[in-house]
Structure 1
Amino acid sequence: MTIHLLSADHRYQSLDEVARLSRVDNLGPKLMRALPYLRGAVVVRTCNRLAILVDAPSRLASSGQSGSDAARAGSACPGSAVSGSGAAPAVADDVRAVLAHCAELPLEQVHLRHLAGHKAHLDLFATAAGLESMVVGEREIAGQLRRAFHAAWEEDTLSCDLGRALEHASRTSRLVATQTGLASSGRSVVAVGLDLATQALQDAKLRPLKEAQVVLVGTGAYAGATVTALRELGVTNVRVYSRSERAQLFAQGRGIGWVDEAGLGQALDAADLVVTCRGLGSPVLTREIVQRVKTPLVILDLALQRDVEAAVADLAGISYIDLLSVQRAVPQAHGEQVRAAREIVAREVEVFERSLGARSMDPVVRRLRDHVDEVVGEEISRLRPVDGCISADDATRALRHLAARLIHNPTVMARKAGESGQQDAYLEALQLVLGMDASPSDTLTVSNKERNVFTCAL
């Protein structure tokens, strides 16, 4: 098993490119159907990231075809196997191909950063801790990872190892939050965006943010985070609009107002600030709609796939703030806090990988237990209870016979190891498995009876 992380995010690509790759719905199930060799797939989407986690066998087909080609051909890993390092490019190429097909993009336009094994674990844990976010230390990513976990669970694409990785990454995120000061200042994309909006309101001579009329477009998780951030800043006059007719339910759950389709124009006329965070790929605020609105007006578009038509930014009286503006305004995190956070991440990744290594031996442990259970069962079947009871002598003989059977194969292999000059390897294995030191150089105490038997044999 190897965990692979394939991502497109603000660190390496433009936000427009990330948006194009993020359009595919139900990507996890689509990957599992297209690539049957995958054991699991989890997809994480944020306002500036698409991250695809897949759990793949460490050894894949290497007969001149990729893993997906082999799967589609109906053959189970034909030909000679390759190592995990050789298999990694095949996994990355397969995932890129599926994403390109589902997003209806040419393959050459699909650029994903690929990490596998230890590097993937490090990046996942650092991402969960907010260290790879546009705003370093932000806590929104922790919730986004939890939602990705639950979505994969519901879609039946969550493998055991991916589940353990995400759970441990979430615990690491909490450790970073409590043991460093990164999360203490409430840093987030929403917070930075609202800082910019506050300045834009002042520049446009509109009401200050606390007194502003705010229209929120969208009812997803990011909209909920925006409502929370607005409340923390003392904003009380907030109304929500959604084309999906979820606005009323969203508003009632948060104690804010709501706007239907018929009242949108009037709400925009009265607004000082509009915050959009739908991100469904089609603009909800077009030039045609906005040019009829009373100005000045500040629009904060927090959607990766823009909710506001690009031409709106050119309209007179409109102050338009998008994610790119937020990215440019992000303050630098404190160096010592970041270093402390990365030390925590490195330590927890080491703990996770040790536990992962232990879990990799589960099939061996099961086979060992099954073997012992089988031998014990056979010995029990040999017993002949009298009136439901077994005598002490019979029980003793049965236990000695059981011990002899259990030690038989290790004894035979010890003789063979001695014959082939592999004594040291056998002793190391014995120490590893049984935790005992059985060096043949030890002085053996032989009983008189055993000495007599040995002499007679001579």
Structure 2
Amino acid sequence: MVLLSMTASHHELDLDTLERLSSGAGSLGRSAVGACDAITGAVVVATCNRFEVYLDLDAPVESAGVQHAVRHLAGLVADASGVDSAVAEASFRTRSGTEVAEHLFAVASGLDSMVVGEREIAGQVKRALEGARSEGTTSKTLELLFQTASRTSKRVSNETSLGGAGRSVVALGLDLAGAELPPWRQVRVVLIGTGSYAGASLAALRSRGCFDVRVYSQSGRAEIFADSHGVEPVDDLAVALEDADLVVSCSGARGRAGAGVARGHQPSTDAAGPAGETADESIGHVLDVAALVRARTRAAEAAGDAEPGRPMVVLDLALHRDVDPRVADVEGVLLYDLATLKAHSPALGSVVVAQARRIVDGAAEAFEGTRLGRTADAAVVALLDEAEVRIGDEVAHHVAAARAAGRVLLEDEVAELSRTARRRVHAELHTRIVEARAEALAASQAELAAVVAGAEAAVYEAESESAGR
């Protein structure tokens, strides 16, 4: 049994490439488990700045088996995203063995985030496991891995100040936006989206004293969200934009069937798509530049101004951009997207990070010992089963000998014979048990070392093939 993770994140890739790779993340776990017999479990973690797949492989622990799984998954990603399979494979960093737990625990604790110490990621990791459960793609090992990641994240939160300052992508975006806006109690906000990030954004706005919030949802969930969160729903985004100071968009709806701009408006058709694509890149943007210009023009006309005078900040928190990037060119509009936030992400004190890292490393070591110990325990159980047979034989021999001598042993005497035999046999087996467990652990660790080497060779080969094209 092998634990394997394939990671594409903002550390290694630009956000545009990451966006394209993760476009088919929703069905990847189910496809991986359904199409490859060796993959017995899969959990996909897809957030605003990472796309990761965790696999449980039931296959011989050898480099060839891991290479097959890596290439198979890269092919599925390529099919779903339209990216060349060699490029998809080279875009991922493959981890195996102890590295898998170390990485996931660091991710769940906010150590690997765009904003180090962010707390939203803990919930996203938890929801990734819940999603795998609902899809039927998790496994016992992945359950243990992700549950331990959540517990480790809580330890980091409780025992360090890493997440104490409310650091997050949402908070960073609002901090940058706030410098360009009126006092928060006067700010009028349009919130696009109704998911977990929308909830986090609303909570962050209220903590700053902003309560004039309207919510828009392309999928029709605005009223449900508004009722449960005490805000006003809107069904016409273009109208709501006319008097907005701040737009916070986190729906990630771009690319969905029927995606587009506000009701009654069509996306513009003069944007060039990514290389190799002929489709209009603006299609699918929830907030289109033409709709925004019209909304601001109408607002200016209603106010009797020749030009739109009220400044606006647009905060796009979606990896699959909700907002047409050309919005940044509109007079009086300031656009912050994930690339901007990444550039403004503040550093965190090394002492705090080191403290959190020690907790993560300790948890990963304990997890790996438990996981490998299961293999070693199988050898120990076999020895203990053998011991029980010996104990039973000895007790039966004494009972038979007493009966042959014309004496029937009492129940208490038989029980004492059994206890005496068990103590002696287990004492004799102690050295063999320690040796068997150590040998099984060493074998598992050697196999994992071979897996890591094989996986690294596979990635190097894929990168070489991609560079040679």
TM-score, length basis structure 2: 0.74
Q: How many residues align?
A: 385
CA shift, 1:398, in A, is 10
Give the unaligned 5+ runs of structure 1: 60-82, 202-206, 385-389, 415-425, 435-458
Q: Does 1:278 align with 2:248?
A: no
Indicate if the aligned counterparts of 2:75 and 2:85 stay in contact, CA closer than 8 A: yes
SS of the aligned residue for 2:178 comes to: helix
Question: Which residue does 2:47 correspond to in 1?
Answer: 46
Question: Which residue does 1:392 correspond to in 2?
Answer: 409
Question: Which residue does 1:245 correspond to in 2?
Answer: 220
> Which segment drifts farther, 309-318 or 210-219?
309-318
| Equivalent of residue 82 in structure 2, options 87, 95, 104 | 104
> Which segment drifts farther, 210-219 or 287-296?
287-296
CA shift, 1:105, in A, is 2.1
CA distance in 2, matches of 1:267, 1:159: 46
Question: Which residue does 2:22 correspond to in 1?
Answer: 22
Indicate if the aligned counterparts of 2:38 and 2:59 stay in contact, CA closer than 8 A: no
CA shift, 1:88, in A, is 3.1
Q: Which amino acid aligns with 2:316?
A: D
CA distance in 1, matches of 2:433, 2:161: 48
CA shift, 1:176, in A, is 1.2
CA shift, 1:365, in A, is 6.3
| Equivalent of residue 357 in structure 1, options 372, 382, 404 | 372
CA shift, 1:100, in A, is 1.1
The share of aligned pairs that are identical, in percent, is: 38
Change (3 A) 1:33 1:373: farther
Change (3 A) 1:399 1:84: farther
Q: Does 1:230 align with 2:205?
A: yes
CA shift, 1:270, in A, is 1.4
Question: Which residue does 2:360 correspond to in 1?
Answer: 345
CA shift, 1:373, in A, is 8.3
> Which segment drifts farther, 275-284 or 134-143?
275-284
Indicate if the aligned counterparts of 1:379 and 1:398 stay in contact, CA closer than 8 A: no
| Equivalent of residue 432 in structure 2, options 429, 432, 456 | 429
| Equivalent of residue 351 in structure 2, options 332, 336, 342 | 336
Q: Does 1:213 align with 2:188?
A: yes
CA distance in 1, matches of 2:294, 2:346: 36
CA shift, 1:339, in A, is 0.9
**1:237-287 per-position Cα deviation (integer Å, ceiling 9, x unaligned):** 111000111111111111111111xx3222110111111001123211112
Give the unaligned 5+ runs of structure 2: 255-283, 297-307, 401-406, 438-469
CA distance in 1, matches of 2:366, 2:106: 15
> Which of the pair has more CA radius of gyration?
1
Change (3 A) 1:381 1:211: farther
Q: Counterparts in 2 of 1:401-420, with a 5 A limit?
A: none
Name the structure, 1 or 2, with higher relative contact order (CA <8 Å, separation 6+): 2
Question: Which residue does 1:452 correspond to in 2?
Answer: none
| Equivalent of residue 145 in structure 1, options 101, 112, 125 | 125
Q: Counterparts in 2 of 1:158-237, with a 5 A limit?
A: 158-201=138-181, 207-237=182-212
Change (3 A) 1:130 1:430: closer
Indicate if the aligned counterparts of 2:383 and 2:433 stay in contact, CA closer than 8 A: no
CA shift, 1:428, in A, is 4.1
CA distance in 1, matches of 2:82, 2:434: 57
Q: Which amino acid aligns with 2:74?
A: R
**1:63-95 per-position Cα deviation (integer Å, ceiling 9, x unaligned):** xxxxxxxxxxxxxxxxxxxx4455433322221
SS of the aligned residue for 1:131 comes to: coil
Change (3 A) 1:381 1:249: farther
Change (3 A) 1:56 1:128: same
